[in-house]
Each structure stands twice: as C-alpha cells, then as structure tokens.
Amino acid sequence: MSEATFRGGVHPYEGKELSSDLPIKTVMPKGDMIFPMSQHIGAPAKPIVSKGDKVLVGQKIGEASGFISANICCSVSGTVKAVEPRMLLNGSSAMCVVVENDGAYTGIEGLGEDRDYTKLSKDEIRDIVKEAGIVGMGGAGFPTNVKLAPKEPDKIDYILVNGAECEPYLTSDYRQMLECPEEIVGGLKVMLKLFDKATGLICIEDNKPAAIEKMKAAVANESRIEVRVLKTKYPQGGERTLISAATGRKIYSKKLPADEGCVVDNISTVIAIYRAVCKQTPLITRVMTLTGDAFKKPINVNVRLGCNHADLVPEGEGFGQEPAKIISGGPMMGFAMFDLNVPVTKTSSSILAMTKDEVAEFEPTPCIRCGRCVEACPGNLVPQKMAVAAMNNDYDTFVSLNGMECYECGSCTYVCPAKRPLTQSFKQARQYVAAQARKK
C-alpha cells in the first residue's frame, strides 16, 4: 500500500542531513533572560512580578489573561530587572519580563519530581497543562489546554502526534523522537487519558526511518497507540493535510480538528505535556535546530526559553560565512529575522542561517499562467487568480476565490517560475479581510 498523503504539495531541498545525526546538546543561557508576555496566539499574558522580585525556575511570571491565552513561566532563578516592552523577533515590541539570571537555577517546590498521572482527574490534568503555559510548539502557538478541552470530549477518536516535520532543515522533532521516545509516548498516554475513546497516532514522514523504527518499538506494548507512516511531502505536517492523510477526515477553515474528532499536537508539545504532568516541570525549555550553510557546525540544542538568539550562535561554532538571511523556523513558513538580539520563545524552532537569499536573487516577472501553483496548492485553490485579486485589493473576489481557505504554506510561491510573491499577497489580503470581519 502506498503511504498516506494528500493532493498537491511540493518537494523542496530537505537539508536535514546537516543536523539530523547530531545529538541534542543542552545549552545554559548567558546574560539576562527576556520573557515576552506574548508567545502564543491569543491575548498576551499579564506580568505578575515586578522589578526587584526574586523569581525561581518554573515560577509563573505571566498570567493568562483570557480564554485563549497562556501562562509564562520563568526558566532561570534570579531577580526581575525590568518589566517593559522589548523587541521580539518579528520586529514588533511587546511587554516582557527581564530577569537577571543568578546562575543557581533554584527551582520552585517540587520541580522535576515524579507525579503519577493515573491518579489525576481529567480536570486536574487540563489544569496542570494550563498552569505550565503549554502552547503548540510547532509554530502556531495555540494554547494546548484549549485544544485538550473540546466541547464533546467523547467524540474525539484520534489524537495525532505530529512528527511529520515537513519543513526543510528542521531536525528538532526528529532528534527528540530518537532520543526521548518514552517521553513522547508518556505525553500521549496522558492525553489519551483525557479522551476515553481516542486512539493515539504518531505520524512520521517516510524520510525518517530511524524515528519510525524507534517510535514503533516504543509503542509496541501500547494497545491504544499506532505509528502512521506518511509520504514525505511539504506541507504534510500542516494540520489539515496531516488529519486527512492519517485519518481520511477533512477539515477546512471553519472547522476545528475536534469537529472531526481529532486533536493534533506536535512532538515538542507532547513532550511538554509529559514533563508538566509527570515531571512537574512547566514549559521552560525547548529544542532548536541551529542549521543552514552559514553555520560552521550545525547543531541541535536544548535551550531555556528567554535566552538570546545571538548567544546561541557560538554553539554552532559561529558563522563560517556571512549569512545573507536568518530565519526563525523552517524556510517555507518561518520568519526572517533582521536582528539576532531577540529572545527565544515557545515557538522558536530554529535558527536557519543561509548564505544565499533565494528571494532577493530573483526579480518577479509576469505570470505566465503555467498552473504550477494550482497543482501545488494543498488547499485546492487557484493561487494565480487569488494573487491577481489580492494585488488589486479586490477583496470580494479574493474571498469568492476561497482565499480565506489558504494555509499560507508557501507551496505556490515555492514553485512559481515567475518568482511572484503569491503567499505574501495572500497574507496581506487575509489579514485585511479578517480585520474587516472583526469590525462588523
């Protein structure tokens, strides 16, 4: 049987061999730690410490301020130096708690101690996940406790652990599957406890045979967990494409995964759940891939949230060549950084430093209507027509061409032989349409 997949998509250069065989190295932070109160989708957290306060590892320093919001926990011990706006990696500024690290890493009471999840009630588990400030660590940053509390928990049939890692270059999920499969299985078992009828599916692309083998061995004795092998294709790890490939169910923009009986969380998020529930450790670290041809030695690192991106560069032995472009996240959906002096957040999956900026290299030329964008679009859209509408600010036409169904995955822009900035125009149009809809 051919492996599960979806229609459309692209095959960019994977670049994973740069870092896939390198074990995760734990890196201790240098200098002050900066904790933005907005590291997730939804309302920013409210700082609950003030200048001069002593804080501990694992201590809550930002309180979720709404239904869709998340707590922020401190990753070091020390003294609060300031509570003030600081710049984030996307160039905007947001309220941050700045902590002077005392280097002692004194933890809150019980930090890191074992806890038996089987003795916890479902609500207790959800509360722990919420308190721990866990959000989707694949990039979107959606608060995980909200995902774990659907209206009808009995209708959840599948919990999908997203190990597709379809973005080129990134290897953090892959390394974690190899190095801590038991934590992934442990986190998934905690989640399965919340949904009595659900089956756990660990979804992995077929370009990661070692991870598939490791995870299969780890779930050999788990009756409620299976490993699903998916075809390697971008964007296989997108929520909609993943659900469709693994379960045959389909959702679109107006449907949540839960509407089709699915909960999706990525590898890092599931590990965070395990650590919060079973190890009494809130979300204070994450694994990042430092890669790209500009790094002398690419590496996978486990870092404390709040550390400075620039301080991580020496871990890859610095830049051998001057990078032309540095991306936080994968090359398909990641964010180009203009300065490395910004803090690592819950969704920072990589520093991808490339010596060549393929975007700046080409001038966009006229569209020749080749239709490659239509073939590549996993959402069955017509990017060529959407782009004409978006670039003319014709938002009604953009919406009627199903522009609001766009995933912003970038597949169309990747294949475009005329090098047109399709995805960029969609992002702008979608933001505008969404803002107009909110005004009404």
Partner 1 sequence: MSNLLNISSSPHVRDKSSTRSIMWDVFLALMPAALFGVWNFGYQAAVLIVVCIAASVLAEYIWQKAMKLPLTVSDGSAALTGLLLALNLSAAFPIWMAVLGSVFAIIIVKQLFGGLGQNFMNPALGARCFLMVSFAGKMTSFTYDGVTGATPLALIKSGDDSTQLIDMFLGTIGGTIGETSTLALLIGAAYLLIRKVITWKIPVCYIVTFAVFALLFGGHGFDMTYLAKEICGGGLILGAFFMATDYVTSPITPKGQIAFGILLGVLTGVFRIFGASAEGVSYAIIISNLLVPLIEKATIPVPFGKEGIKDGK
Residues 406-435 that bind partner 1 (CB under 8 A): 408, 410, 413-419, 421, 423-424, 427
Site for partner 1 in 252-271 (CB under 8 A): 252, 254-255
Q: Is residue 85 reached through a cis peptide bond, with omega within 30 degrees of 0 on the bond before it?
A: no
Question: Residue 210: which region, alpha, beta or left (left: phi > 0; alpha: psi -120 to 50)?
Answer: alpha
382 phi, psi to nearest 5 deg: -120, 80
Site membership for partner 1, residue 405 (CB under 8 A):
yes
Site membership for partner 1, residue 382 (CB under 8 A):
yes
Nearer of residues 68 and 367 to partner 1, judged by Cβ:
367
Handedness of CA 140, 141, 143, 148 (dihedral sign): positive
Looking at 54-62, 243-251, 275-283, 299-307, which segment touches partner 1 (CB under 8 A)? 243-251
Site membership for partner 1, residue 378 (CB under 8 A):
yes
SS3 306: coil
Site for partner 1 in 329-368 (CB under 8 A): 331-341, 354, 357-360, 362, 365-368
Site membership for partner 1, residue 391 (CB under 8 A):
no
- Give the pairing type, strands 33-36 and 325-328: unpaired
Give the integer Cα–Cα distance in Å for 400 and 423: 17
Nearer of residues 94 and 251 to partner 1, judged by Cβ:
251
Which pair of tokens denotes residue 397? Answer: 């036409």
Confirm if 314 and 296 have CB atoms less than 8 A apart.
Answer: no
Q: How far is the CB of 38 from partner 1 (least distance, A)?
A: 20
Nearer of residues 93 and 380 to partner 1, judged by Cβ:
380
Which residue in 244, 266, 347, 348 binds partner 1 (CB under 8 A)?
244
Looking at 92-100, 122-130, 190-198, 373-381, which segment touches partner 1 (CB under 8 A)? 373-381
User: Helices 172-179 and 181-194, interaxial angle, to 10°?
Assistant: 90
Contacts of residue 134, Cβ cutoff 8 Å, sequence gap at least 6: 70, 143, 144, 145, 269, 272, 273, 276, 282, 283
Which pair of tokens denotes residue 356? Answer: 């060549």
Q: Report which DSSP code applies to 260.
A: G
Give the integer Cα–Cα distance in Å for 26 and 30: 13
Site membership for partner 1, residue 10 (CB under 8 A):
yes
Site for partner 1 in 16-45 (CB under 8 A): none
Q: How far is the CB of 91 from partner 1 (least distance, A)?
A: 8
Size of the site for partner 1 (CB under 8 A): 72
Give the integer Cα–Cα distance in Å for 370 and 420: 12
Q: How many CB atoms lie within 10 A of CB 246?
A: 24
Nearer of residues 24 and 294 to partner 1, judged by Cβ:
294
Q: How far is the CB of 329 from partner 1 (least distance, A)?
A: 8
Site membership for partner 1, residue 380 (CB under 8 A):
yes
Nearer of residues 26 and 392 to partner 1, judged by Cβ:
392
Site membership for partner 1, residue 370 (CB under 8 A):
yes
Nearest residue to 30 via CA among 284, 301, 312, 282: 312
Q: How far is the CB of 25 from partner 1 (least distance, A)?
A: 22
Site membership for partner 1, residue 310 (CB under 8 A):
yes
Q: How far is the CB of 188 from partner 1 (least distance, A)?
A: 25
